[in-house]
Every structure is written in C-alpha cells, then in structure tokens.
Amino acid sequence: MNQLCTGLLLWLALSLSAAAGIVPENGHDEVVYYADAYAAHYEISKELVHAIITQESGWNPSAVSAKGAMGLMQLMPATAQEYGVRNPFDISENLSGGVRYLADLMQQFGGDFRLVLAAYYRGSGPILRRGLHYSGVDVYAYVASVRRLYLAELAFHKSPANLVLGGD
C-alpha cells in the first residue's frame, strides 16, 4: 500500500509539474547534456543540478544577477575563479565549475541537502560560523524552492510505469 501511495503522489507531482510547465530543460539540449555529464562525473544527482539551474538562471546561460552572479549556475566571480571558470557564460565551463562547487559543498556538509543549498546560496562561511545552521527568510525560501524543484525533477524523470508499480 505504501508503494502505491508513493507512486500516486509522484504521479500527481509529475502531472502538476507538466500542467504548470515545469519542465524547463525542454529545448535546452546542450545544457542538459553538459549538466547530466558533469552531474555523473561528480556523482551529484542530475535532478538536483537541474533544480539549481532552474532556480538560479531559469536555464539562461547569459543570466546575470543584481549581485553579479553569472551564467546557468549563477557563479559569483570569486567562485568562478576558484573553480577555473574563465568564461562563466560558456555553458560547459559554467556547469563544470558549478557542479564541482556543488560536489565540494556536498562533501563539506556530509550530503545534508539543506546545508548544501543554503551554502550554495549564501556561501559556506556563514553556515560554518553559525555551527551548521543558517538563517534569513531569503535563505529558507531558496532552500524550500530548490527542494520543490528537485522533487518535481525526480517525479518528472520517473516513468509512468515506475510510478504506478512503485519501482525505481
């Protein structure tokens, strides 16, 4: 019964995501190719990478934030430099640096998604100084938003047969 409920919930999430048009990677084949390749290389969930791209840039390789973050994964200049990204608007370079940064945060915070996402948004320094805690309405909103997008990505990448049967 539990597998059936899980399957139905995932199916509902998939349906709502599709109905709301939350399949932003459609039409971005080159970005998906590099995002998935770097996710596999750094052993990060491709769904998490997709969720971060959706949140950060809306799949726009030319995106620039008011604070100066650039490209698909919205790398700050210092982060881009630290990860060897010379052109943050180059799809491959931006994703390579961004996913590697994400992998480093996953290792630093023991895979705790909440802390990893908070650190991706705010930087790891404030999280470490607060004893592995984060604060701020904007940080909580960011973590919650990426979590929702991540769950939608997981649901989207499940096949309808797996949803009904409760398989992987």
Question: Two tokens at 93?
Answer: 């370079």
Which residues, other chains included, contact 82 with Cβ-Cβ below 8 Å and sequence gap of 6+?
101
56 counts as catalytic = yes
- What Rg do the C-alpha atoms of the chain give, in angstroms? 16
Strand partners, 108: none
Strand partners, 75: 70
Q: How far is the C-alpha of 43 from the C-alpha of 127, rounded, in Å?
A: 23
Question: Exactly one of 25, 47, 56, 93 is catalytic; which is it?
Answer: 56
Catalytic residues: 56
